[in-house]
Chain A
């Protein structure tokens, strides 16, 4: 095999190798997760002990927390991290279709991260108008102490982040379409790959209106136009922004949900030793849910001045979309039926995620039923509901994936006992901070409130806020410990030489850990089987790998040299 001399810079920094880029995304995302979590810890302290922060700081921290968790944690980890590392490995490719674009994508993302963090500390303070950036609040800089520079930088950071994810999306779709190994037809793709494909497509289709909207918003701020602003005779339309934002925003939730579900399918099959209960149901219901996700956006605007008849129509589509998801969860759950479950850390995180998705999914129904949403809209019930979905996506599922693929990525293995304790503590503290929010929402507690003590009918619930804060702080401490263990294991952890420690079927487990540059050396994978051939009786093992490696005759074809 031809040997490529690589300097430190091209190997670890400006690398075009999908695995290195994936790890860069993963690690940036994990660091930002701790950052976003610490922000949450700070404003949670304020909810227990009002006065800890100023009003402006409170709003800014909530805003940055939300934006960071979506755009700098969930997306980079699930798409940029797992997507980049696993797509080529799972489909038997040597790299992404466009490795240079991939590198540019990461560094654009990195730049967006720097600008975002900077925007918090410029004179005037960071942007404080909520992660949904609703104008006119977001378009009238004087509304929050003239924080114009912070706002502009915040929007710029988001724009760059989208640009980087767009480059990634193009890469993912192309790679999955044209670089699959011999024999890997679409209906044999591991579900994780399907999920990445649908997620990338959703992102590509939904983001354009928002980019247009963001440009209009920037013009309102910088040039004084009136797309969304209202001033005496010049009447813009603030509701227009909400349409543009949620036309993107709702599919965006599925852009991060699908890859997370994909991780859970890989984990459930591997550790329960069973095939997916119904592969086709998963594929079709994912596509149907993806298409439907474009016609539910106005459920965020039921009481925001939209036509009441169309509100009712959006209520119908929203309740309707719960059906493909209930099908998915049933299939995922039944994948355990008849299995022989190994309770590894990855499985514990995976099954917690599954259980929490049940809560998150079901509690969407009271919000989708338009008449109940009149009461619940913009209360802590919403905060509880979306933390049961997005925290599950961005934390439980991703950590499950980290434990599962850690040996493949780094050739090391995180201590199992630590992993199990980590999983149990995370589940407990997570519910401790998120579940009580349902009660606060029932009691009519509006969200984005600096404190509830100003409202007579909420004062008696202050102890609930205190419990939530304690739980949240313990949760954050647990994750900080995990961060240390994660880095410790990368540098000094126990080696895991076995390429397939979990006896998994998919292609990535055929190559050594960590995989060499261009993944397969002098071999090429060919696919002969379905993705999840577990529980096969009459064989010497209980599983059949999806494919095998065959030696290639000529010199190794190279992806980008």
Chain B
């Protein structure tokens, strides 16, 4: 049921999801089996008088508590590992590692407003605050196999920047900057949605995520002012 994972590291999140859901299904099925057994075996028709002692085998059911403790610890370890990987390591360190590995990265600033997303790009020189910076409305274009660092901000109320296919989400908060980092490996078009109630059109605050091959991205940077596309997108949003 999870949408296909398009990211390089989303599997870390999926692993936590799969283990936690798998584990609770097992514990749940066992608990339900025991419950149904007891309801049948100890119904008044089967067992007209209550026993004065709990049958010894059933006393062993308390082992579920120990199973849960072990399961909890396992879950915490894999979950904390993934969390550490994405969110605790300082961005500088991640960037350094990326450069050492010979990989590329780009930076994008995301701004949430009722009810649209704007994406600020540093342009060809890779630096914000220079003349070649540009913006896109409700469209995020990122190169394939490249690390993307996003800085998220809101200009009005809370929003939440959510890319289901990349297993990534973080709130957009007025007055603060928050951060996400991911690397997408599957080219194609995907959806970015808002996951924090932001008003009447919250359900419609969505953007297109376009993952393109690296060279295509480079070519596009040469000619970034695809102005028509940008204007249409923003106007479309305003009209809704």
A457 touches B38 (CB 8 A): no
* A62, chain B: closest CB distance, angstroms: 9
Partner of B83, one of A308, A334, A337, A362: A308
B17 touches A338 (CB 8 A): no
Contact (A330, B173) CB under 8 Å given A319-B76, A375-B167, A451-B203: no
Chain A residues, CB < 8 A from B62: 330, 334
Taken together as a complex, chains A and B put the C-alpha atoms of A273 and B49 apart, in Å, by: 8
B32 touches A355 (CB 8 A): yes
**Which A residues between 311 and 352 are near B, CB-CB below 8 angstroms?**
311-312, 315-316, 319-320, 322-323, 326-327, 329-330, 333-334, 336-343, 351
Partner of B42, one of A239, A341, A457: A341
Verify if A514 is at the interface (C-beta below 8 Å from B). Answer: no
Partner of B69, one of A230, A323, A457: A323
Verify if B129 is at the interface (C-beta below 8 Å from A). Answer: no
B200 touches A370 (CB 8 A): no
Chain A residues, CB < 8 A from B35: 333, 336, 351, 354-355, 358
* A346, chain B: closest CB distance, angstroms: 14
Q: What per-residue 1/0 map shows which CB atoms of B190-234 lie under 8 Å from chain A?
A: 110111111111111010000000000000000000000000000
Contact (A369, B16) CB under 8 Å given A340-B49, A446-B195: yes
A369 touches B50 (CB 8 A): no
Partner of A340, one of B50, B80, B195: B50
Verify if A177 is at the interface (C-beta below 8 Å from B). Answer: no
Contact (A372, B195) CB under 8 Å given A272-B50, A338-B51, A443-B3: no
Contact (A322, B68) CB under 8 Å given A238-B173, A238-B174: yes
Contact (A351, B39) CB under 8 Å given A137-B157, A372-B16: yes
Q: What per-residue 1/0 map shows which CB atoms of B68-93 lie under 8 Å from chain A?
A: 11001001101111111011100000
Chain B residues, CB < 8 A from A237: 175
A143 touches B44 (CB 8 A): no
A334 touches B61 (CB 8 A): yes
A235 touches B175 (CB 8 A): yes
Verify if B52 is at the interface (C-beta below 8 Å from A). Answer: yes
Other than the known A337-B61, A377-B160, A450-B203, what 10 A-B pairs have Cβ atoms closer than 8 Å? Answer: A59-B197, A277-B54, A303-B169, A305-B176, A311-B83, A343-B43, A359-B28, A378-B160, A457-B165, A457-B190
Determine, out of B18-26, B104-112, B119-127, B130-138, the stretch whose residues face the partner at the interface. B18-26
A366 touches B20 (CB 8 A): yes
Determine, out of A252-260, A529-537, A548-556, the stretch whose residues face the partner at the interface. A529-537
* A261, chain B: closest CB distance, angstroms: 16
B203 touches A365 (CB 8 A): no
Verify if A499 is at the interface (C-beta below 8 Å from B). Answer: no
* B190, chain A: closest CB distance, angstroms: 8
Verify if B99 is at the interface (C-beta below 8 Å from A). Answer: no
Chain B residues, CB < 8 A from A239: 173, 176
A333 touches B203 (CB 8 A): no
Closest to B48 in A: A340
A446 touches B198 (CB 8 A): no
A238 touches B197 (CB 8 A): no
B79 touches A326 (CB 8 A): no
A-B pairs with beta carbons under 8 Å apart, 12 shown: A143-B157, A238-B173, A305-B176, A327-B65, A338-B50, A341-B42, A359-B28, A365-B24, A369-B79, A443-B3, A451-B203, A536-B52
Chain A residues, CB < 8 A from B75: 319, 365, 369
Determine, out of A3-11, A70-78, A128-136, A389-397, the stretch whose residues face the partner at the interface. A128-136
B169 touches A339 (CB 8 A): no
Q: What per-residue 1/0 map shows which CB atoms of B163-194 lie under 8 Å from chain A?
A: 01101111101111010000000000011011
Interface residue range, chain A: 35 or more
Chain A residues, CB < 8 A from B139: none
Chain A residues, CB < 8 A from B81: 371
**Which A residues between 355 and 386 are near B, CB-CB below 8 angstroms?**
355, 358-359, 362-363, 365-366, 369-372, 374-379
B42 touches A272 (CB 8 A): yes
From B49, B65, B114, B197, residue with most partner A Cβ within 10 Å: B197
Verify if A431 is at the interface (C-beta below 8 Å from B). Answer: no
Taken together as a complex, chains A and B put the C-alpha atoms of A45 and B17 apart, in Å, by: 31
Closest to A451 in B: B203
From B114, B168, B193, residue with most partner A Cβ within 10 Å: B193
Closest to A277 in B: B54
Chain A residues, CB < 8 A from B169: 303, 374-375, 377-378
Closest to B58 in A: A337
Interface residue range, chain B: 35 or more
Contact (A311, B87) CB under 8 Å given A322-B72, A449-B203, A455-B193: yes
Taken together as a complex, chains A and B put the C-alpha atoms of A534 and B49 apart, in Å, by: 11
Verify if B148 is at the interface (C-beta below 8 Å from A). Answer: no
Verify if A428 is at the interface (C-beta below 8 Å from B). Answer: no
Verify if A49 is at the interface (C-beta below 8 Å from B). Answer: no
Q: What per-residue 1/0 map shows which CB atoms of A380-420 lie under 8 Å from chain B?
A: 00000000000000000000000000000000000000000
Q: What per-residue 1/0 map shows which CB atoms of B7-45 lie under 8 Å from chain A?
A: 000001100110011011001100110110011001110
* A458, chain B: closest CB distance, angstroms: 9
Taken together as a complex, chains A and B put the C-alpha atoms of A449 and B196 apart, in Å, by: 10
Chain B residues, CB < 8 A from A371: 12-13, 16, 78-83, 86
Chain A residues, CB < 8 A from B204: 450, 454
Taken together as a complex, chains A and B put the C-alpha atoms of A351 and B54 apart, in Å, by: 19
Taken together as a complex, chains A and B put the C-alpha atoms of A337 and B47 apart, in Å, by: 11
* A265, chain B: closest CB distance, angstroms: 16
B55 touches A338 (CB 8 A): yes
From A274, A363, A378, A442, residue with most partner B Cβ within 10 Å: A378
Contact (A338, B174) CB under 8 Å given A136-B157, A456-B191: no
Verify if A56 is at the interface (C-beta below 8 Å from B). Answer: yes
Chain A residues, CB < 8 A from B149: none
Verify if B239 is at the interface (C-beta below 8 Å from A). Answer: no
A320 touches B24 (CB 8 A): no
Contact (A358, B28) CB under 8 Å given A143-B199, A272-B50, A371-B79: yes
* A10, chain B: closest CB distance, angstroms: 45
Partner of B44, one of A59, A305, A342: A342
Contact (A134, B64) CB under 8 Å given A305-B173, A377-B195: no
Taken together as a complex, chains A and B put the C-alpha atoms of A385 and B2 apart, in Å, by: 17
